[in-house]
Amino acid sequence: MKLALLGLRNLARNRRRTTISLAIVGAGTVALLLTAGFIRFSFDGLKEAMIHGGLGHLEVASADALAGRQPGALDRSLRHGLADWLELQAELEALPHVEAAAATLQVMGMAALPDGDPVSFIGLGVEPGRERRMGFTVRLVDGNDLDVAPPAEGDDRALLGRGLADALGAQPGDVVTLLALNADGMLNALDVRVAGVVTTGVADLDTRFLKLHLESARRLLQTDLVSNLVVGLDRTEHTAAAKAAVEAIVAGRPQPLTVTGWQERASFYGQVRNLYLGVFAFLGSIVFVLVVLACSNTLVMAVMERMRELGTLRAIGTTGSQLAVMLLSEALWLGVLGGLIGDLAGLGAIALVNALRLKMPPPPGAVSPIDLQLAYVPEAFAGAVALMVVVLALAALAPIAKAVRLRVVEALDHV
Binding region for another protein (CB under 8 A): 112, 114, 156, 175, 177, 179, 184-191, 219-220, 222
Q: How far is the CB of 79 from another protein (least distance, A)?
A: 12
Q: How far is the CB of 67 from another protein (least distance, A)?
A: 20
Cβ distance to another protein smaller for residue 186 or 356: 186
Which burial class, exposed, middle or buried, applies to 16 when counting CB atoms under 10 A from its CB (0-12, 13-18, 19+)?
exposed
For residue 150, the surrounding DSSP H or E stretch is none
Contact 229, 60 (CB under 8 A): yes
Cβ distance to another protein smaller for residue 224 or 413: 224
Q: How far is the CB of 187 from another protein (least distance, A)?
A: 6
Rounded to the nearest angstrom, the gap between the alpha carbon of residue 80 and the centroid of all alpha carbons in its chain is 32
Residues near 8 by beta carbon (within 8 Å), at least 6 away in sequence: 329, 330, 333
Report the C-alpha gap between 415 and 3 in whole angstroms: 26
Cβ distance to another protein smaller for residue 153 or 237: 153
Cβ distance to another protein smaller for residue 160 or 257: 160
Q: How far is the CB of 175 from another protein (least distance, A)?
A: 8
Q: How far is the CB of 156 from another protein (least distance, A)?
A: 8
Cβ distance to another protein smaller for residue 77 or 263: 77
Q: How far is the CB of 171 from another protein (least distance, A)?
A: 18
Report the C-alpha gap between 261 and 247 in whole angstroms: 11
Q: How far is the CB of 189 from another protein (least distance, A)?
A: 4
Q: How far is the CB of 173 from another protein (least distance, A)?
A: 16
Cβ distance to another protein smaller for residue 217 or 230: 217
Cβ distance to another protein smaller for residue 191 or 410: 191
Q: How far is the CB of 179 from another protein (least distance, A)?
A: 6
Rounded to the nearest angstrom, the gap between the alpha carbon of residue 23 and the centroid of all alpha carbons in its chain is 31
Largest interatomic CA distance in the chain: 102
Cβ distance to another protein smaller for residue 218 or 265: 218
Q: How far is the CB of 118 from another protein (least distance, A)?
A: 9
Residues near 25 by beta carbon (within 8 Å), at least 6 away in sequence: 291, 295, 334, 335, 337, 338, 339, 341, 342, 388, 391, 392
Contact 396, 25 (CB under 8 A): no
Report the C-alpha gap between 197 and 40 in whole angstroms: 32
Q: How far is the CB of 168 from another protein (least distance, A)?
A: 14
Cβ atoms < 10 Å from Cβ of 168? 21
Cβ distance to another protein smaller for residue 219 or 243: 219
Contact 93, 242 (CB under 8 A): no
Cβ distance to another protein smaller for residue 58 or 168: 168
Residues near 348 by beta carbon (within 8 Å), at least 6 away in sequence: none
Residues near 143 by beta carbon (within 8 Å), at least 6 away in sequence: 159, 171, 172, 173, 194, 195, 196, 197
User: What are φ and ψ of residue 365, in 5° steps?
Assistant: 90, -15
Which contacts (CB < 8 Å, 24+ apart) does range 74-78 have?
Answer: 74/265, 75/106, 76/106, 76/227, 76/228, 78/105, 78/106, 78/182, 78/183, 78/221, 78/223, 78/225, 78/227
Cβ distance to another protein smaller for residue 168 or 377: 168
Report the C-alpha gap between 403 and 415 in whole angstroms: 16
Q: For residue 290, give the nearest of 20, 25, 22 by alpha carbon.
A: 25
